[in-house]
Structure 1
Amino acid sequence: MTVWDELTGQSEAIAIFRAAAADSTLGDSPIGDSAMTHSWLISGPPGSGRSNLAYAFATALLSPPANGGGVEPGDGDEATRRQVAARTHPDLAVLSTEGVIIKMDDVRRLVSSSNFSPSVSRYRVIVIEDADRMQERTSNVLLKALEEPPPRTVWILCAPSEADLLPTIRSRVRTVRLRVPDVAEVAELIAQRDDVDIATATRAARESQSHIGMAHRLATNEDARRRREQTLDIALGIHTVSGAVIAAAKLLELAGQDAKAITEERDAEERESALRSLGIEPGGTIPPALRAQLRTLEEDQKRRATRSLRDGIDRIMVDLLSLYRDILLLQLGVDTEPINLAILSRLTTASAASTAAETLATMDAIATARKRIEGNVAPALALEAMLISTAR
C-alpha cells in the first residue's frame, strides 16, 4: 500500500508529486533541479482532495528512503503515514484555520519555525490549508519566507484557485491543478472506504457533485441526507413573497442544524481532551489558574462555529444551484442525467411551471446572495432577497 492509494480522480497530479518525491531521494542536494522544488500550490475546486493530496505528498517527503522493503521511492512508508495523519510528525507543521481568516500571528510563527532544520527526516514540510483565507498583509509575511526559503524546507499551499493568492505568491510556487473527479470515481472510493453499497455511494457522489467530503457525509449520515432533502422541498414549495420570507428562515435554521451537527461532537471531544491533558477528571472543578486555557479553547470553538454556519449556508446555496440547474436543463431539452435524479418527477413538474429565462434569473439571484454573504451581509437578509426574487 502506498500513500497515493486512497486518492481518486487525480492521476496526473499524483504522477507529478510522486516523481517529485522520488526525485527528492536522489543525491545529496537539498532540493533537486528537476521534479522537486521548495514551494507548491495545490489548487482545485472544493472537494477535489487538495489537502488529502498535500498530506500524501508530505508523507512521501518525510518518509525514509526506500530500503528494499517493497516500497518504491516516492511512495512513503506506513509509520510516517500514521504520524502525518495524526499531525504528530516532528518535521511537519500545519496551519489550518477554523475561523473566517488566517491570522497574521499564526503565519509569523510558522515562518519562524520554517528556519529550523529537520530533526528526523530529509525535509521540514509546512502545509497551509485554505491559503486563500490569508489577507494581503498576512500573505506578505509568507512571501518573505518563500523568497528566501531554507534549503531543507518545503511549503505546500492549498487554495481553490491561483487567483485567490497574490501574484507575488503565485510567481514563487509551482502550481498543480486538480480536476473534479467523476461521479463513478468518487462513488467507488466511498463504497470501498466507508463500506456502503454502491447505489448509496453513487447517489451521494452525484448529489454532492463529486465533492469527496460531502459525498462521505451524505453516504454515511442520514441526518445530512434529510437536511438536503428538506432544502430542496422548501425551494420547490415557494410560490409567494410571504412564503419566500418563511422559507429563508427555514433554510437558515437548516444551515444552523447542519453546522451544529458538524461542530458539536468535535467541540466535546476537544474539551474532554483538554481537561484530560490538564489532569482534571470529567465533571471535576476547574482550578482558576487553568480557566484561561479553557477560555481560549472556547473562543476558538466559537470562531469555528461562525465559519461552520457560513459553510452550511453555502452548502445550501450549492444544493439550490444544483436544483435549478436540473430544471434549466429539462427546460432546454438537454439530454443529461440530473444531479437530483431521485426527485426527477418533481423536477419535470417544476420545469413546466416556469421558463428558462426565469430559472436563469433565479440562479443569478443565488450567485448574488453568495457574494453578499461573503461580503458580510446578514445571511437572513441575503436569503430573503434571494428567495423573494425567486418567488417573483
Structure 2
Amino acid sequence: MDVFDDLVGQEQAATVLRRAAAAAAEVLAGGRGAGMTHAWLFTGPPGSGRFDAAKAFAAALLCPDQGCGHCDACHQVMIGSHPDLESVRPQGLSYGVKQTRELILRAAGRSTMGRWRVVLFDDADRATEQAANALLKAIEEPPPRTVWLLCAPAPDDMIITIRSRCRVVTLVTPSSQAVAHALVTRDDVAPGVAESVARAAQGDLARARRLALDESARGRREAVLSIPKSLTNVGECIAAAEKLVKTADEDAAAATAELNESEIAELRAIYGEGSTGKGLNKGLVRGGAGALKELETAQKSRATRIKRESLDTALLDLMAFYRDVLAVQFGAPVELANGDRRAELEAAARASRPEETLKRTAAIMRCRERLAANVNPQIAVEALTLALWKPGN
C-alpha cells in the first residue's frame, strides 16, 4: 500500500506518478532522474480526483520512501501541514495577480527537510490573465528543487505557454463499480446504496459520498429530478426556477455564514478592535478598513462560486435524467444514472421524441454557459425551465 492506492479508478495515472517519484528520488541521489520535471498539470473531469492525485504525488516527493502512506511526511502532506508544501485552493471565482505573487514569494524558499519544495495549486484555471502571466514566469525559472503541481479540468483551461512547460497527467472518470467499491470499503456504505449513488454521481466519488452519507443532499437531488414532470405550465416553470435558485442561495449561505463571521472577527482582532489605550483602537481599525473591504469582496466571490456550483450540480442531475430518457428512447444498452426511476424514464420517453430530448439537453448546456458568463441566475434558470417544458419554442 502507498499513497497512490487511494486514487479511485486511476491505475494508469498512478503508474506514471510512481515512476516519476522514483525518478525524483534518483535526482536527490545525484542521478539524472529521467521522467522528473519541475512543473506538472493534473487534468480530469469533476470528481476524477485530480487534486487528490496531485497531493499523493506531493507526498511521494516529500516522503523518503516515495509515498509510503505511513510516515510523518506522508501524514503531514495529507493534512496540509508539511513545511515544504505550499497548498492553494481558490475559494472565489478567480485568483488574482496579488495572491499569485504572494504564492510565488512563499514558494521561493529553500526546502526545510532537504528534499523538494512543492507548490500544489488547485483550480489553477481560475487564475486571472495577469496572474497566469506571473505564474508563467515562476514556472519558467523555478528555484532549484521547486516543483509546481497545477490542477485544472482540461489542458486547454490553462494558457498555452503554461501548459507547454508542464508534464500533463490526465485522469479519467472512475467507473461506478470503482466508486461503489470505495464507498463500501472506506465509508462502510451498504453495497446496494453504494451502487445506486455511484451511478447517480456518474463517477464523482465526492458527490457519491455526499449522496450516501448526507440525507439533505439526497433530498435536494430528489427535488431536482421531480422538476421534469412538474413543468405543466408557465407558472410551474417560474416556480421551479425560483426554487432552484433559492436552494442555491441557501447552500451558499449555509456554507459561508459561520466562516465569514470568524474571518471578520479575526481580521478585526488583528487590526486592534477592542484594544485599550488612547487613540489606539480608532487608528488601527481605520487602518484595517481597506483590508476589511477586500475580505468582504473575497467572501462575496466565494458565496457566488458556491451558488454557481450548487446550480451546476442541479443542472448536471437534470442532464443525466434526459440522457437516460434518450437512452431509453433509442434502446441503448448503457448504464442509467437514474435506473431506480425506470418507470419515470420510460414515461418521459413515451411522451416525447428523441429530437425534443436533445433540445432539452442543449437547453441545459446553454444555461450552464450563461451562468458561467455571469447572467442573472433567475433569468437563466427560468429560460431553462421554459425550454424543458416546451423545447420546440
In structure 2, distance between residues paired with 1:389 and 1:27: 58
CA distance in 2, matches of 1:245, 1:31: 66
Counterpart among 156, 176, 180 of residue 149 in structure 2: 156
- Check if 1:237 corresponds to 2:230: yes
Report the counterpart of residue 334 of structure 1 in structure 2.
Answer: 332
Tell whether the 8 Å contact from 1:96 to 1:128 is kept in structure 2 after alignment: yes
Alignment size in residue pairs: 379
| Distance in structure 2 (CA, Å) of the matches to 1:30 and 1:380 | 60
1:22 maps to 22
Whole-Å separation in 2 of the counterparts to 1:267 and 1:150? 36
**Does the CA-based 8 Å contact 1:102-1:134 persist in structure 2?**
yes
Comparing 371-380 and 302-311, the one that deviates more:
302-311
Once the two structures are superposed, residues 145-178 of structure 1 have per-residue CA deviations (whole angstroms, 9 ceiling, x without a partner) of: 1111222100000000001011111110000100
Could you list the per-position Cα deviations for residues 164-223 of structure 1 after superposition, in whole angstroms to 9, with x for gaps in the alignment? Answer: 011111110000100100001011112222221121121111111111111111111000
Q: Which residue does the alignment assign to 1:319?
A: 317
Shift of residue 21 of structure 1?
1.1
Contact 1:20/1:74 (8 A) holds in 2: no
CA contact (8 A) 1:16 1:35 kept: no
Name the residue aligned to 2:241: 248
For the pair 1:10 / 2:10, whether they are aligned, the reply is yes
CA distance in 1, matches of 2:10, 2:252: 29
Q: Work out the CA distance in 1 between the residues paired with 2:149 and 2:195.
A: 31
Match of 2:168 among 163, 171, 175: 175
Q: Which position in structure 1 is the counterpart of 2:382? A: 384
Question: Does the aligned pair in 1 maintain the 2:228–2:389 contact within 8 Å?
Answer: no
Contact kept, 8 Å, 1:40 with 1:157, in 2: the verdict is yes
Task: Give the SS at the match of 1:46.
Answer: coil
Letter in 1 for 2:51: S
1:348 paired to 2:346: yes
CA–CA distance in 2 between the matches of 1:329 and 1:313?
24
CA-CA distance at 1:269 after TM superposition: 7.4
Pair 125,27 (structure 1): closer, same or farther in 2 beyond 3 Å: closer
Instruction: Report the secondary structure of 2:169's partner residue.
Output: strand
CA distance in 1, matches of 2:155, 2:350: 40
- SS of residue paired to 1:25: helix
Read off the aligned partner of 1:321 and give its amino acid letter.
M
Residue 113 of structure 1: how far off its partner (Å): 2.4
Q: Where does 1:124-203 land on structure 2 (aligned, <5 Å)?
A: 124-203=117-196
Query: Which letter does structure 2 place at the counterpart of 1:383?
Result: V
Please list, as runs of the form range in 1=range in 2, the aligned pairs for 1:253-268 lying within 5 A after superposition. 253-264=246-257
Q: Quick check: 30-39 or 303-312, which moved more?
A: 30-39
Q: Is the 8 A contact 1:21 1:60 kept in 2?
A: yes
**Distance of 2:261 and 2:343 partners within structure 1:** 42
Tell me the distance in 1 between the aligned counterparts of 2:6 and 2:320: 27
Unaligned runs of 5+ in 1: 67-72
Could you list the runs of 5+ residues in structure 2 that have no partner in the other structure? 276-280
Deviation at 1:247, TM superposition (A): 1.0
Give the aligned partner of residue 69 of structure 1: none
Instruction: Tell me the amino acid that sits aligned with residue 182 of structure 1.
Output: S
**Judging changes above 3 Å, is the alpha-carbon distance between structure 1 residues 161 and 325 closer, same or farther for their aligned structure 2 residues?**
same
The letter of the residue matching 1:47 is G
Deviation of the 1:380 alpha carbon: 0.6
Give the letter aligned to residue 188 of structure 1: H
Q: Is the aligned partner of 1:39 residue 2:39?
A: yes
Corresponding residue for residue 208 of structure 1: 201
Matches within 5 A, 1:7-156: 7-28=7-28, 32-63=32-63, 65-66=64-65, 73-156=66-149
- Contact 1:324–1:363, Cα closer than 8 Å, also in 2: yes
